[in-house]
């Protein structure tokens, strides 16, 4: 069994996966926004979009960093639950046939 075979893990990890897709498409939008600004500024000397571009990219950088940090922590906690409370995950504490905590460290120690 894999971690995603458990409902609790799915409820925790699927929103993180959706957020990753949102980051991807937001990045694509920002790239188009930047290329349009670059074209307008080179051809016509129009820098009017610069404040919006700067504010949007700065805000997104902070927001994406924050959400990524939270997502990594949530992923770590899901793994810790499989290691520490195997009874919630089929009683074996195993993921994919191997021990969920193969690294040798206790998931509680890292909390």
The answer to whether 107 and 84 are in contact (CB under 8 A) is: yes
Domain ranges (residues) in the chain: 3-99
Q: What is the mean pLDDT of the chain?
A: 79
Distance of CA 28 to the CA centre of its chain: 17
Distance of CA 105 to the CA centre of its chain: 24
pLDDT tens, residue by residue, 26-69: 999 999 999 999 999 999 898 999 999 999 999 999 999 999 99
């Amino acid at each position: 069994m894999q971690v995603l075979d458990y409902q609790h893990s799915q409820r925790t990890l699927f929103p993180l996966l959706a957020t990753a897709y949102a980051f991807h498409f937001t990045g694509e939008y920002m790239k188009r926004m930047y290329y349009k600004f670059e074209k307008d500024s080179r051809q016509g000397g129009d820098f009017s979009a610069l404040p919006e571009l700067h504010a949007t990219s700065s805000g997104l950088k902070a927001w994406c960093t924050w959400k990524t940090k939270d997502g990594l922590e949530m992923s770590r906690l899901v793994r810790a639950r499989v290691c520490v409370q195997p009874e919630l995950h089929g009683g074996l504490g195993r993921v994919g046939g191997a021990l969920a905590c193969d690294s040798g460290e206790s998931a509680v120690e890292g909390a």
